[in-house]
Amino acid sequence: MRFPLSGRQWTFGSIVVPVWVMLLFLPIQIQAAGLSGGAPHFASETSAAIKPEGKAAYTLPPEKLAKAIRVSRDYTILGFARTAWEMLFLLLLLATRTLSRLGEWAESLTKKRWLQGFIFLPVLLLVLAVSHLPFSMIGHWLSVSYGFSVQHWGSWFLDLGKSLLLTLSVGSVVLLVLVMLIRRFPRSWWLWFWAGSLPIIVCTVLVVPVLIDPMFNHFEPLTDSNPALVRDLEKVVTRTGTDIPPSRMFLMKASEKLTVPNAYVTGLGATKRVVVWDTTIKSAPTDDILMIFAHESGHYVLNHIWKGIAFGAALMFVLLWIGYHFVHWLIARYGERWHIGSLDDWAAVGVLLLAFALLNFVSDPIANTFSRALEHEADVYEQEAMHGIVADPQATAQHSFQLLGEAYLEDPNPSALLEFWTYDHPSTQHRATFAAGYNPWVAGQQPKYFPKDTQ
């Protein structure tokens, strides 16, 4: 699992959130998403096994409950405020003709279009990054205040600098390609950009574990410090058939920056690996770690990465088509006011980012609903996979959700609208309730992913 308060220290979303970036990283988010909550429990053939309503499966003592409610409130306000400011700031840059003047300045320096792009685009991305800095700082301050993070400001700014360099380099190239496609194919640029993005999605999933993650966290072979845990993880590997040898099991020194637990599987093919945070080993029983690992293995076995790529591609196709028409409407309606003659102007990049940001916000519930469905499937898979490995899969799963919910101060009763719009996982309450009641090995029930006689 991955968690929004403690996931990768770098993210394009922390700097700029154009929809094409969010969709390119959708497969990563699916394999690496965490306990951020979700929607009401999804009905399925397994839903009959859910424990009847009564005593809540996930609870918090009064003091922690009050704190969890504050956490949910603070991060919700911060998230929506960041999104609103992103769109408002882009509107300000357009309305004041700042982007138009920046484009004219770039054109005055060179006649070569690609050089103009490498002048205009990094400056634009840097300005946007600076505008987002207060929100990022508040987010880190909240994480430290609530005890999720112990990362000091110097280390945090170093990570932010690395993230910024990635954004400026990769973001500038991608946006320049988009601008060139617009100039070369004024009517079909969105289709060409969509097609070119598909291999990038796969490449991203492949390279992030080996090129990006080590830039922000320290990893070491898990066999060096926890050979017993490796042997236990191999039992789950054998049961699930995920083909991950001990040489690709790693310990991440999360305690250098964080206090919360986590474990996950990441990568594809030769880069596929198990990662266990040292904070997890310190705070979670071995059975809970195995349960979390079984959940992540389920994402692989059930082909959720590839399903995520397919879903992301389909959603991106639709949003780019809508964006194509929306951007042309915006320029026709406000182009003269913004001093933008056509989509070929450099300032039109701001219109593209504004349209993509709005479409990304509106489409969040669609992507999150899809993600929650996959996460529920992985929850079913993990509990079935652990049958015969742990003594009581129901109790172990429920305990792991209780442990993680307490660590991340997850609100046991989030609002239905908040779940629908922002949660990429079912809420901890729904997951724990399902876990406590799901036992397909009893008479009259049938496991979904494993033969009933499997031990």
pLDDT tens profile 386-424: 999 999 999 999 999 999 999 999 999 999 999 999 999
CA angle 37, 42, 45 (to 5 degrees): 145
Mean pLDDT of the chain: 87
Task: Please compute, for residue 338, the number of CA atoms within 13 A of its CA located in the half-sphere on the CB side.
Answer: 26
Q: Is 52's pLDDT higher than 50?
A: no
Q: Cβ(244)–Cβ(301) under 8 Å? A: no
Q: Is 26's pLDDT higher than 60?
A: no
Over residues 355-381, the pLDDT tens digits come to 999 999 999 999 999 999 999 999 999
The mean pLDDT of 319-345, rounded to a whole number, is 96
CA angle 276, 280, 282 (to 5 degrees): 125
Q: Cβ(355)–Cβ(371) under 8 Å? A: no
pLDDT at 260: 95
Residue type, 173: V
* Bridging pattern class, strands 273-277 and 249-252: parallel
Q: d(Cα 47, Cα 78) in Å, to the nearest integer? A: 35
Closest CA relative to residue 437, chosen from 49, 150, 116: 49
Beta bridge partners of 265: 274
Which tokens belong to 176? 């320049």
- The dihedral built from the CA positions of residue 227, 229, 234 and 237, taken in this order, carries a sign that is negative
Label residue 43 exposed, middle or buried (CB < 10 Å: 0-12, 13-18, 19+).
exposed
- The dihedral built from the CA positions of residue 256, 260, 261 and 262, taken in this order, carries a sign that is negative
Over residues 274-298, the pLDDT tens digits come to 899 999 999 999 999 999 999 999 9
Closest CA relative to residue 190, chosen from 199, 201, 177, 181: 181
pLDDT at 61: 95
Which residue spans within 302-407 are E strands per DSSP? none
- Sorted by where each begins, the domain ranges of the chain are 12-217+304-437
Which tokens belong to 28? 């990563």
In this structure, what are the phi and psi dihedrals at residue 220, rounded to the nearest 5 degrees?
A: -145, 155
Q: What is the largest CA-CA distance in the chain?
A: 77
Distances in whole angstroms, Cα of residue 30 to Cα of each of 20, 26, 27, 118, 242: 16, 6, 5, 32, 17
Region of 297 (left: φ > 0; alpha: ψ -120 to 50; beta: rest) is alpha
**Which pLDDT band, with edges at 50, 70 and 90, does 55 fall under?**
low
pLDDT at 8: 34
What predicted TM-score, i.e. pTM, was given to this entire model? 0.86
Residue type, 307: K
- The dihedral built from the CA positions of residue 24, 27, 30 and 34, taken in this order, carries a sign that is negative
pLDDT at 203: 87
pLDDT at 455: 53
Beta bridge partners of 263: 276
Q: d(Cα 292, Cα 301) in Å, to the nearest integer? A: 14
Most confident of 22-26, 27-31, 218-222: 218-222
